[in-house]
Amino acid sequence: MEICEKYWLVHGVIFRFVILLYNKLIQMAVRKFLMVVVPISFLFFHLSAQNEMSSFQTLTEKQQSIITIAAYTAKGELQDLKSALNEGLDAGLTINEIKEVIVHLYAYCGFPRSIRGLQTFMEVLDERKTKGINDIPGAEASPINQETDKYERGKKVLGELTKAPQDGALTGYSAFAPVIDTFLKEHLFADIFERDVLTYAQRELVTVSVISSIGGAEPMLRSHLNICLNVGLTADQLQQFIYIIKSSVGKKEAKAAQKVLDEVLKSKL
Q: Please, which residues have CB within 8 angstroms of residue 104's CB and are 6 or more apart in sequence? A: 192, 198, 203, 206, 207
Torsion of the alpha carbons at 209, 158, 57 and 108, rounded to the nearest 10: 0
Residues 68 and 135: their CA atoms lie apart, in Å, by 19
- For 15-20, the CB contacts below 8 A with 24+ separation are none
**For residue 92, what pLDDT is reported?**
98
pTM for the predicted model, two decimal places: 0.80
- Tell me, rounded to whole angstroms, the distance of Cα 199 from its chain centroid: 16
Residue pLDDT tens, the chain, 269 long = 455 555 555 555 565 665 666 666 666 665 665 555 445 544 444 444 444 444 568 999 999 999 999 999 999 999 999 999 999 999 999 999 999 999 999 999 999 999 999 999 999 999 999 999 999 999 999 999 888 999 999 999 999 999 998 888 999 999 999 999 999 999 999 999 999 999 999 999 999 999 999 999 999 999 999 999 999 999 999 999 999 999 999 999 999 999 999 999 999 98
Burial 223-260 (b: 16+ CB within 10 A, else e): bbbbbbbbbebeeebbbbbbebbbebbbeebbebbbeb
Burial 45-81 (b: 16+ CB within 10 A, else e): eeeeeeeeeeeeeebeeebbbbbbbbbbbbbebeebb
**For residue 44, what pLDDT is reported?**
46
Residues 257 and 240: their CA atoms lie apart, in Å, by 12
| CA-closest candidate to residue 156, choices 223, 178, 148 | 148
